[in-house]
């Protein structure tokens, strides 16, 4: 019995010792940079022909975004999509082919054919989960903090801030674009941090407060610091400049 217990403990330590991040660092970091903002990447490739950054391979956020967007169905659960991503990566790493790349030609044309990378099943599973989770993690790190509506009410009243209800759907392409290109912009984050309190709601799963009716996604509902007065409701995507102008306009209404 004691021998069985020790074997289980050792097996558990071994299993949890496989880190997707460590595998990525060991096998991929020499070519793949971790994070560069999407707008900076687009300018580098589309406007400067990669002369600004001189990247030799996609960044990790590019890989994570592309895999989550093009492999599997975002409407399915995370585990199902991760399984499909793992199958794709298994085939691509064993038989690299630029024709199978998920990146657009305008970006992929700057990269050479990558070499074959050998991973065992456990390493492949670990690195797949790491790449899958990276998109969500990096957006969270570079965006303003999100609160529940109950938390937002307290903060708004105490600090005289405007509540922003951000209505989204996990599979909404313009919501994804909003998260990756706009909400992570430093000026947008600074504005939201200083004057607003953000509440993110999945409108397919969560009911909007105050009797608000669902709009097209992405949608933004602006509520005054009293927690009752609706300042404005806006639907649709706008770039960082347009979104900052909207936030300034909302501040003007409040004042």
* Domains delineated in the chain: 19-142 (no CATH), 149-254 (3.40.30.10)
Give pLDDT, residue 129: 95
Of residues 166, 185, 177, the one with CA closest to residue 234:
166
Q: Helices in the chain by DSSP H: which ranges?
A: 2-16, 20-27, 38-42, 60-70, 78-94, 105-108, 121-142, 149-159, 173-177, 186-195, 240-254
Give the per-residue pLDDT at 209.
Answer: 95
Tens digits of residue pLDDT in 169-215: 988 999 999 999 999 999 999 999 999 999 999 999 999 999 999 99
- The first and second tokens of residue 140, run together, are 């969270």
Report pLDDT for 163: 98
**Which residues in 115-143 are b (16+ Cβ under 10 Å) and which e?**
eebebeeebbbbbbbbbbbbbeebbeebb
- In the three-class reduction of DSSP (H, G, I as helix; E, B as strand; rest coil), residue 9 is classed as helix
Identify the segments of the chain with pLDDT beneath 50: 1-15
CA-to-CA distance for 221 and 219, rounded, in angstroms?
Answer: 7
pLDDT of residue 2: 39
* pLDDT score for 16: 53
């Amino acid at each position: 019995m004691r021998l069985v217990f020790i074997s289980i403990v050792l097996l558990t330590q071994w299993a949890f010792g496989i880190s997707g991040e460590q595998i990525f660092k060991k096998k991929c970091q020499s070519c793949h940079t971790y994070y560069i903002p999407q707008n900076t990447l687009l300018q580098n490739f589309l406007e400067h022909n990669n002369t600004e950054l001189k990247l030799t391979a996609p960044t990790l956020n590019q890989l994570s975004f592309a895999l989550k967007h093009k492999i599997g169905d975002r409407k399915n659960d995370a585990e199902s999509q991760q399984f499909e991503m793992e199958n794709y990566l298994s085939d691509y790493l064993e038989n690299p082919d630029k024709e199978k790349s998920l990146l657009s030609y305008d970006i992929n044309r700057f990269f050479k054919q990558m070499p074959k990378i050998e991973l065992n099943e456990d390493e492949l599973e670990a690195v797949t989960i790491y790449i899958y989770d990276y998109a969500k993690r990096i957006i969270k790190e570079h965006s303003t903090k999100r609160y529940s509506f109950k938390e937002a009410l307290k903060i708004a009243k105490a600090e005289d801030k405007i509540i922003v209800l951000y209505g989204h759907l996990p599979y909404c392409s313009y919501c994804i674009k909003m998260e990756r290109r706009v909400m992570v912009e430093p000026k947008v984050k600074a504005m939201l941090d200083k004057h607003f309190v953000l509440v993110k709601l999945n409108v397919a799963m969560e009911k909007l407060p105050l009797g608000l009716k669902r709009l097209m996604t992405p949608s933004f509902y602006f509520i005054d610091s009293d927690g009752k007065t609706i300042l404005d409701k806006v639907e649709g995507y706008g770039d960082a400049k347009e979104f900052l102008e909207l936030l300034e306009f909302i501040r003007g209404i409040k004042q």
